[in-house]
């Protein structure tokens, strides 16, 4: 009996891109996925069906960079949609439930590279949804920073400018602005 050479089977891993609003998470996800396409690899690209801010069928960054995607109600449908894919990209992961962790794990064990982008903290400054667990499971974590709208320092908080208290409130610069720790707590 002998062991297969290490390169004889596909190895998957998880990459998480996180940060505040306006830090470039979707832009970085799109950049990585476009490089996958240039390399001739197959990519399945997904986002929550509820994210309709810019375009229902594309992931769109705040600077209008875009890539086609499949909107899904739940991440549990992704494995069936990702059959034959080399890479799976998922945007706005904080809007999914904890099943995204199991889905990412199953995909990586099947040899798929999984790239996930999402807010690491909600508007109150607390860890957001499944993001902490995803970061813990990931082989690679990239934390991006925006520029504080108040002082110009690196920002990693998403400050909500309105008084609404619901956790999931889609919005852009009309509802949110990036802030550094000091300005966020003022």
Q: Is 92 a catalytic residue?
A: yes
Judge residue 7's burial from the number of C-beta atoms within 10 Å of its C-beta, 0-12 exposed, 13-18 middle, 19 or more buried: exposed
d(CA 180, CA 150): 8
Question: What is the number of other CB atoms lying within 10 angstroms of the CB of residue 176?
Answer: 21
Pairing of strands 13-19, 58-60: unpaired
What does the block give as tokens for 44?
């399945």
How far, in whole angstroms, is CA 101 from its chain's centroid? 12
| Candidate list 27, 28, 92, 177, residue with the active-site label | 92
HSE toward the beta carbon, residue 85, CA cutoff 13 A: 22
d(CA 42, CA 39): 9
The catalytic site residues sit at 92
């Amino acid at each position: 009996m002998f062991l297969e050479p290490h390169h004889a089977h596909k190895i998957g891993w998880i990459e998480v891109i996180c940060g505040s609003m306006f830090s470039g998470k979707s832009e970085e996800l799109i950049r990585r996925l476009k490089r996958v396409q240039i390399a001739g690899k197959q990519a399945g690209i997904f986002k929550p069906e509820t994210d309709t801010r810019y375009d229902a069928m594309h992931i769109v960054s705040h600077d209008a960079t875009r890539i086609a995607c499949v909107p899904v109600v739940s991440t549990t449908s992704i494995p069936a949609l990702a059959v034959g894919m080399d890479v799976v990209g998922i945007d706005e992961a904080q809007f999914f439930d904890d099943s995204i962790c199991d889905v990412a794990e199953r995909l990586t064990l099947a040899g798929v590279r999984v790239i996930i982008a999402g807010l690491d903290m909600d508007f109150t400054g607390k860890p957001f949804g499944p993001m902490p667990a995803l970061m813990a499971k990931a082989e690679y974590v990239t934390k991006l920073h925006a520029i504080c709208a108040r002082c110009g320092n690196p920002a990693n908080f998403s400050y909500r400018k309105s008084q609404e208290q619901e956790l999931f409130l889609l919005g852009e610069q009309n509802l949110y602005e990036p802030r550094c720790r000091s300005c966020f707590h003022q």
